[in-house]
Amino acid sequence: MTNYTRDNTERNPDIEQMVFDILHHALKNAERAVMIMKLKEKNNQVDEMMKAMKEVTVIEQVAPYSSDGKFSVCATRDRTYGS
């Protein structure tokens, strides 16, 4: 990179370093903005999914009929406590 001015035709490493620092910070801010935008989009999708799930009614499931035509009951043990 060179500094093009009528009065100064020589390279100045300090000015070049400042320009690169500015470009570096601009790129970092752009990356951060993209990351935030993607995160907001993901959060909006999750919010929409949660809203849709709240609107759905929960229907209790009934055990299928047994062979004699009555409801069958499924007994389960709580394996956490070993009973």
Higher pLDDT, 57 or 21: 21
- Whole-number pLDDT of residue 45: 95
List, for residues 61-74, the tens digit of each pLDDT value: 555 555 565 555 55
Distance CA 73, CA 2 (A): 84
Three-state SS at 21: helix
What is the reported pTM? 0.51
List, for residues 12-50, the tens digit of each pLDDT value: 888 889 989 999 999 999 999 999 999 999 999 999 988
Return the CA Rg of the chain.
33
CB 14 within 8 A of CB 3: no
Distance CA 9, CA 33 (A): 37
